[in-house]
Amino acid sequence: VEKEENSLEGSSVTLSYRYSKQATGGDQFYWYRQYPGKPPEFIIFHTGTQNETNSGMSVSVTEDKTKIILQISSAAVTDSALYYCAVRPTVTANPQSLYKNTS
């Protein structure tokens, strides 16, 4: 949600992504980190209803399921980067609309 976060080394840092709807178990969230001059690198994955922890990072979903929180437990200088949250939403549709009736 914030464009920039500043922190002291060793402290906890919280980054967040505001989702445009309520997250469901079918929604998939992929977090990436990008260092200057480098391509983005994958760091953690979770679905819209679960919490996940991996290598000093944890991801959680707010109670209203509209904000995804990435927490870095003990920030280091090497955590200075751009962070992205990519979303693969659940797609639901009327199956009838997928087929055009030509008769």
pLDDT reported for residue 99: 52
Over the stretch 3-47, which tens digit does the pLDDT of each residue have? 778 888 999 999 988 888 888 888 888 889 999 999 999 998 888
Amino acid at position 32, single letter: Y
CA distance 25 to 100: 30
Structure tokens at 70: 């990435």
pTM here?
A: 0.75
Over the stretch 28-40, which tens digit does the pLDDT of each residue have? 888 899 999 999 9
